[in-house]
Amino acid sequence: MKRHPDSPGVIAWPPLLYAGALALGILLHLAVPARPFPPGPARWVAGGVLALLSLGLALWGERTMHRAGTNVNPMQPTIRIVTGGPFRFSRNPLYLSLTGLYVAIALLANLLWPLVLLVPLMIVVQQGLVKREERYLEAKFGEEYRAYRARVRRWL
């Protein structure tokens, strides 16, 4: 995926980062199997509910960005700051949805290694995506972004 020069310079397309960490977790599971949760319906219910909530949040965030007339892909220019929909509660609802879906998959498949890799994944997301986007948005939108950042939490 080609990066536009007017973009935050994120290190990778976000779904690719999450998919890569999940794939690595599955490979580690194949090498050293570990099931962190006992069998039973609670894991399925928790994973299923988290997956549905995450997908709903992703759709809501994407629709909100499209309606605002800006790019969803962080490798493309941001046309305007989006403050409606889920962006009223979090500056990063799409990353929250990816994180929720990642955890849901690990729960549903009962895989330990993807959960272990969640910590380094979130460090990469924070440093390689979020902080770069924040610098870009502040440089591009100045006070408008600083006011939004002061009102709305980064994550939750």
Question: Tell me: the pLDDT tens digits for 58-90?
Answer: 999 999 999 999 999 999 999 999 999 999 999
Angular region, 110: left φ>0, alpha ψ -120 to 50, beta rest: left
pLDDT of residue 146: 98
Please, what sign has the CA dihedral across residues 126, 122, 16, 148? negative
Angle ∠(89,92,97) on CA atoms, nearest 5: 95
pLDDT in tens, 98-134: 999 999 999 999 999 999 999 999 999 999 999 999 9
pLDDT of residue 2: 67
Q: Is the pLDDT of residue 150 over 80?
A: yes
Q: What is the mean pLDDT of the chain?
A: 96
Q: State the pTM of this model.
A: 0.94
Please report which confidence band the pLDDT of residue 5 belongs to, taking 50, 70 and 90 as the band edges: confident
pLDDT of residue 56: 98
Among 125, 118, 84, residue whose Cα is nearest residue 101: 118
Q: Is the pLDDT of residue 3 over 80?
A: no
Q: Is the pLDDT of residue 95 over 70?
A: yes
pLDDT in tens, 24-61: 999 999 999 999 999 889 999 999 999 999 999 999 99
